[in-house]
Structure 1
Amino acid sequence: MWFRHSGAGRGLRTLGVLTAAFTTVVASATAATGAPAEEPAPQPPSGVSEEYVVSFSGAPETAVAQIEAAGGTVEDVTEQVGIALVTSTDGAFMDDVRARSEIRGAARNHAVGTTVPGMPHRYAVERPRGGSAGHGHDPSRNGQRAEPLADLQWDMEMIGATPDAAQRTATGRGVDVGIIDTGIDASHPDLAPNFDGERSRNFVTDIPDIDGPCEVESCVDPADVDDGGHGTHVAGIVAADDNRFGIGGVAPDATLVNVRAGQDSGYFFLYETVRALVYSGDIGLDVVNMSFYTDPWLFNCSSREEYIEGTVTDEELAQQRLVRELVLGAVAYAHERGVTLVGSAGNEATDLAAPTRTDETSPDYPPDTARPRVVADTCLNLPNEAPQVISVSAVGPSTTKADYSNYGLGDIEIAAPGGWFRDFVGTPRFQTPGNLVLSSYPLHVAIAEGLADPTGQPVDEFSINYCDDRGRCGFYTYLQGTSMAAPHVAGVAALVIGERGRPTGHGGRALDPAVVAAVLAASAEDHACPAGGVEDYTDEGRPPEWNAVCEGTTDVNSFYGEGIVDAVAAVRR
């Protein structure tokens, strides 16, 4: 089935000119490291199809001819940044294509035909289980909020993204927000009014061995569905409509554009990620939310010297360099075209400013190939650590940094509500669903994942099926993670652009991403480090190695960056 790339969504395209800015960023992915090289990894046997990303210089036509001469079949070209998606059954393809004059580098996009029965969902960590029941729904607490489930949205109250606060001034009208994720369920009643189906795209082909059976013959889902659920949850935080139904988003009048780069299983491979970023720049999106990292490497190194502990093959190092160069280039491409880029800092409880980083999960694809390693802090988590991306850490409802959230002085720009199941230890709220972030979720995914029974009714207190008196129903679930924190910032960015941006002539608004970032930083609510400078999570049941040292001042520190995002101050500043 893996030869369906040439079907819907992936024909050979030449979409523009190779940009000088990208050429400056991209160097050879196979440059010498200056350190003794290990033996190259074995090549796949001939006859087994593999998918590759090939970076090229010069004319696409010349590159395509050289790729084909090396035994590859070009499935797609993103000419703006000089890359091609290629399949090949030739075990020597990478060695051959790298030797060609117009080729800058090549690496596997992902393996093909890896069978992993019962593989866990990538985002399982964001759905804790156990603890006390109850989410405390009390419609009488809604006050001026029209949304029936508004009293469950502590996150919106925390940042002032409510009709009686920031949304009295700005609602995101005229602002386009791209969601680079697993998709958006455009049939959800809270998302349908704001969904732009015309500009939404899916750059992903389902892989049955990790994503489950294909839902359509081509394995390329329509751009208005989400079979993973994560993207729909993110989209609801950004822009669930204020329609007297379900929940409300941070920017309830913003337009949602699905720019899908994630597999149903939660993997975000290199080519799809770059393709989505380039598309976001080309169509002029105002904001893009990126709650993911590019697989298969949590941290991408460029040289063997950056490995403090652990081993790496030549091929793996070349792949990491190519991820760095292509994602950094694609981020720069989108940013230069006016896209404000917001990313989640990650859920590894890691100090990103420390001299070294421990990684026990990479490479995470193919599964079961990870080898523990310790690498230097120059090995980057991408796209989050690209210089143009606003990096967001997560807090719980008490405003304490969530134990899982990454942190780091100089790495975290701003904090936002991400939920924390273990917040309020020693009180009845400890380990209750209400400590997490409630947002929209596809019903069919909820049923498939066992969150709801076959009739659509939730099986526990972690989800809600809301129906109005007209018979419309929408499913919602609680999740936690920096994946949930980032879209709060993306939503406030949309409010800022809607309030301060210049008219574009078609009802839209636009604002320089540097200005947006500056407003977000200047308006964030300062949050001091904990007394003594250490957040101790042992009371919450974590081992001592989870304790985190906070560095910096009340104005700027490693936990909260410039502070917790403040929608009211941002739109009034």
Structure 2
Amino acid sequence: MRRSILGSAVTLSIVAATLVATQSASSADSTLAATATTRDYVVLYEPGTAETDARAAITAAGGTVVSSNAEVGYALVRSAAAGFAAAADAAPALVGAARNRSIGKAPAEVRSDAAAVERLTDVERSAAPAAGTGAAEKKKGGTGDPLSPLQWDMAAIGATPAGSYADEPGSKKVTVGIIDTGVDGSHPDIAPNFDAEASRNFTTDMPDIDGACEVASCVDPADVDDDGHGTHVASTIGAPLNGIGIAGVAPGVELVNIRAGQDSGYFFLQPTLDALTYAGDAGVDVVNMSFYVDPWLYNCSANPADSPAEQQEQRIVVEATQRALDYARSKGVLPVSASGNEATDLGAPGVDASSPDYPVDAKGNPTAARQRTIDNSTCLNVPAESGGVVTVNSTGPSGRKAYYSNYGTEQSDVSAPGGDAYDTANGRLDPKGEVLAAYPAHLAIANGDVDAAGNPTSAMVVKDCDGDVCGYYQYLQGTSMAAPHAAGVAALIVSRYGKKDPAHPGTLTLPAALTEQILLGTATDVACPVPAQFTYRRVPAKGAAVTTTATCAGPADDNGFYGQGVVNALSAVS
């Protein structure tokens, strides 16, 4: 999941005036200037409330509608009234208001830990053994793209030239939406399958967290990724078989950037809701969601450690996200989500000491975070525990549950390769145990992973060229990397079994429930380890070995570590 599944904290009271709305959204007063006391809210309508009645109630409460989504029933509202949220909560036409806060980011100390999972620490990266280069791998020959020998993840699920590629490589009539930080549409291992016309960016760069805007409007083009996370995800799903670099799970499908994440990796509630709505309206078949919702790591409906206003806010986050997911599924979209990188049993999460992560101090640390005992029956990690979502745990190259992956008997639907750098015989780090996927060239240079001559300076980065066209690839690990493997298999299922979509001529569609049924039903069963309490051993570059444990429960065909099994591309289309 973004480090997220997968930057500094931000004062979220002011959202930039330039907003990108869904095709179905209407806008009013979009040029209203925000003041120091102005806040933006996501206001949820009561079910069945007419748009005109909801707007009237918002106005009466002291708010101004910036944009609205009548299909799902919410509006982005700006207000300087101190009592706006309470007034909106009391209005019969409205469920209430939640401040428009970041999604996909945990507090500073948690972000640091999560970033260390996906990208590893600087010490780990510097001590990593060389992972090989494109030139070296090409000498090995074989089938597939040049870096296929480094893709243990594809071999693990049968996504190979001798496997699913031969039966079903994926159809251009099937589209996968990447709800993430963006997609580098110019990357040579994405460009052939990238649908620029259908791609959208629902975010506006915010200089206080994203740095200086790259374009005058602060709205990046829909083929840009200044974080790298979304590009990695996209290529895992659908990098083409084109003689350079890697191949994805579904190398023949269309990829669409449905950006809801900031350059810095932050996500916001309203862009994410809009992205899900757009996916449904645009005829997208599968969306990948490698993020989780905050300021609350767990959104609780009635936690006694929270104020009534905070409880209401969390209820709105849960309900608004669920409505958007339901809308997308009703249009044939299957949502696929990462389970998270906290190594937590989501069925018994224990204590959360990280929430809320806003407001923050000058150093970006949360000022209101406190310990909360989490009740599994009334608290949800969103969207991983939202209804209608396929939740994916991560496995390493040996097939074990990755050391960092969340798990749980109620929450785990399936598992997929997400990488585990310590899944080695001696517990020492090996980057080849992570997942290799596309890396935007401009980021590789900016991050110092490529030198002035264009050559990798890090063992975590691989370069491959086809003539004078070169691409860069980086090793990452996380449930953010596992989810796109499942999303890719889902895309293969729609490619194989889908029917003509009358709402979107020239494309295929399949009911989301059927796609999910086949995805879960064809996964390879994996039993819990024996003993069920599994011990992980990691040997860092410096210091003593680190051991942690996780306990698996359930039968081979449905347990807390693997859900209903590890996704299988070949079985899904055979």
TM-score category, normalised to shorter length:
0.7 to 0.9
* Residue matched to 2:176: 177
Give the superposition deviation at 1:172: 1.4
Aligned partner of 2:568 among 557, 566, 570: 566
* Residue matched to 2:154: 156
* Residue matched to 1:82: 73
In 2, Cα distance between equivalents of 1:142 and 1:358 = 51
Instruction: Work out whether residues 538 and 546 of structure 2, in 8 Å CA contact, stay in contact via their aligned partners in 1.
Output: no
* Residue matched to 2:130: 134
Give the superposition deviation at 1:2: 8.9
* Residue matched to 2:264: 265
* Residue matched to 2:411: 411
Q: Cα gap change, 1:350/1:542 in structure 2, threshold over 3 Å: closer, same or farther?
A: farther
Give the superposition deviation at 1:9: 2.0
Aligned partner of 1:480 among 477, 480, 485: 477
User: Which runs of structure 2 are paired with 1:115-514 in the superposition (5 Å)?
Assistant: 123-129=115-121, 130=124, 131-137=127-133, 138-145=137-144, 147-173=145-171, 174-304=173-303, 307=304, 311-354=305-348, 356-366=349-359, 367-369=364-366, 370-378=369-377, 379-426=379-426, 430-453=428-451, 456-469=454-467, 471-504=468-501, 506-514=505-513
Instruction: Work out whether residues 203 and 275 of structure 1, in 8 Å CA contact, stay in contact via their aligned partners in 2.
Output: yes
Query: Secondary structure of 2:176's match?
Result: strand
Give the superposition deviation at 1:49: 2.6
Q: 1:7 aligned to 2:18?
A: yes
Query: Secondary structure of 1:265's match?
Result: coil
Give the superposition deviation at 1:442: 1.4
Give the superposition deviation at 1:447: 2.8
Equivalent AA in structure 2 for residue 318 of structure 1: Q
In 2, Cα distance between equivalents of 1:139 and 1:208 = 42
In 1, Cα distance between equivalents of 2:271 and 2:545 = 36
Query: Secondary structure of 1:458's match?
Result: coil
Aligned residue pairs total: 529
Give the superposition deviation at 1:142: 4.7
For residues 334-361 of structure 1, what are the alpha-carbon distances to aligned partners after superposition, in whole Å with 9 as ceiling and x for unaligned?
111111111111101011122x433232
Runs of 4+ displaced beyond 6 Å: 1-4, 116-122
Q: Cα gap change, 1:191/1:152 in structure 2, threshold over 3 Å: closer, same or farther?
A: same
In 1, Cα distance between equivalents of 2:22 and 2:481 = 34
Equivalent AA in structure 1 for residue 422 of structure 2: R
Equivalent AA in structure 1 for residue 351 of structure 2: T
Q: Which has the higher contact order (CA 8 A, sep 6+)?
A: 2
Instruction: Work out whether residues 185 and 191 of structure 2, in 8 Å CA contact, stay in contact via their aligned partners in 1.
Output: yes
Equivalent AA in structure 2 for residue 403 of structure 1: Y
For residues 494-532 of structure 1, what are the alpha-carbon distances to aligned partners after superposition, in whole Å with 9 as ceiling and x for unaligned?
111111112336442222222222222222112121111
Give the superposition deviation at 1:210: 1.6
In 2, Cα distance between equivalents of 1:377 and 1:301 = 9
Q: Cα gap change, 1:454/1:109 in structure 2, threshold over 3 Å: closer, same or farther?
A: farther
Instruction: Work out whether residues 451 and 460 of structure 1, in 8 Å CA contact, stay in contact via their aligned partners in 2.
Output: yes
In 1, Cα distance between equivalents of 2:267 and 2:493 = 29
Query: Secondary structure of 1:532's match?
Result: coil
Equivalent AA in structure 1 for residue 327 of structure 2: Y
In 2, Cα distance between equivalents of 1:329 and 1:357 = 28
Equivalent AA in structure 1 for residue 82 of structure 2: G
* Residue matched to 1:547: 549
Instruction: Work out whether residues 110 and 354 of structure 2, in 8 Å CA contact, stay in contact via their aligned partners in 1.
Output: no
Instruction: Work out whether residues 22 and 277 of structure 2, in 8 Å CA contact, stay in contact via their aligned partners in 1.
Output: no
Instruction: Work out whether residues 76 and 85 of structure 1, in 8 Å CA contact, stay in contact via their aligned partners in 2.
Output: yes
Q: Cα gap change, 1:46/1:234 in structure 2, threshold over 3 Å: closer, same or farther?
A: closer
Q: 1:51 aligned to 2:49?
A: no
Instruction: Work out whether residues 443 and 456 of structure 1, in 8 Å CA contact, stay in contact via their aligned partners in 2.
Output: no
Query: Secondary structure of 1:536's match?
Result: strand
Equivalent AA in structure 2 for residue 479 of structure 1: L
Task: Name the stretch that deviates more: 220-229 or 175-184.
Answer: 220-229
In 2, Cα distance between equivalents of 1:117 and 1:401 = 26
Aligned partner of 1:97 among 81, 84, 88: 88
Give the superposition deviation at 1:543: 5.1
Q: Cα gap change, 1:46/1:496 in structure 2, threshold over 3 Å: closer, same or farther?
A: closer
In 2, Cα distance between equivalents of 1:413 and 1:279 = 25
Query: Secondary structure of 1:394's match?
Result: strand
* Residue matched to 2:52: 61
Give the superposition deviation at 1:123: 4.1
Equivalent AA in structure 1 for residue 282 of structure 2: I
Equivalent AA in structure 1 for residue 406 of structure 2: N
Across the aligned residues of Structure 1 and Structure 2, the Cα RMSD in angstroms comes to 2.7
In 1, Cα distance between equivalents of 2:192 and 2:347 = 41
Instruction: Work out whether residues 123 and 266 of structure 1, in 8 Å CA contact, stay in contact via their aligned partners in 2.
Output: no
Equivalent AA in structure 1 for residue 401 of structure 2: K
Task: Name the stretch that deviates more: 218-227 or 97-106.
Answer: 97-106
In 2, Cα distance between equivalents of 1:329 and 1:11 = 15
Equivalent AA in structure 1 for residue 281 of structure 2: D
With the length of structure 2 as denominator, give the TM-score of the two structures. 0.86
In 1, Cα distance between equivalents of 2:420 and 2:322 = 31
For residues 76-125 of structure 1, what are the alpha-carbon distances to aligned partners after superposition, in whole Å with 9 as ceiling and x for unaligned?
111111111122333333233334343220010128xxxx9999677453
Give the superposition deviation at 1:459: 2.3
For residues 521-567 of structure 1, what are the alpha-carbon distances to aligned partners after superposition, in whole Å with 9 as ceiling and x for unaligned?
222112121111111014657755x3011111222211011111111
In 2, Cα distance between equivalents of 1:71 and 1:93 = 6
In 2, Cα distance between equivalents of 1:419 and 1:265 = 23
Unaligned runs of 5+ in 1: 17-44
Q: Cα gap change, 1:211/1:384 in structure 2, threshold over 3 Å: closer, same or farther?
A: same
Equivalent AA in structure 2 for residue 445 of structure 1: L
Give the superposition deviation at 1:333: 1.1
Equivalent AA in structure 2 for residue 83 of structure 1: Y
* Residue matched to 1:34: none
Unaligned runs of 5+ in 2: 1-11, 28-33
Q: Cα gap change, 1:434/1:52 in structure 2, threshold over 3 Å: closer, same or farther?
A: same
Q: Cα gap change, 1:69/1:47 in structure 2, threshold over 3 Å: closer, same or farther?
A: farther
Equivalent AA in structure 1 for residue 138 of structure 2: P
Give the superposition deviation at 1:282: 1.4
Instruction: Work out whether residues 26 and 67 of structure 2, in 8 Å CA contact, stay in contact via their aligned partners in 1.
Output: no
Instruction: Work out whether residues 297 and 364 of structure 1, in 8 Å CA contact, stay in contact via their aligned partners in 2.
Output: yes
Query: Secondary structure of 1:144's match?
Result: coil
* Residue matched to 1:36: none
Give the superposition deviation at 1:128: 1.1
With the length of structure 1 as denominator, give the TM-score of the two structures. 0.86
Query: Secondary structure of 1:393's match?
Result: strand
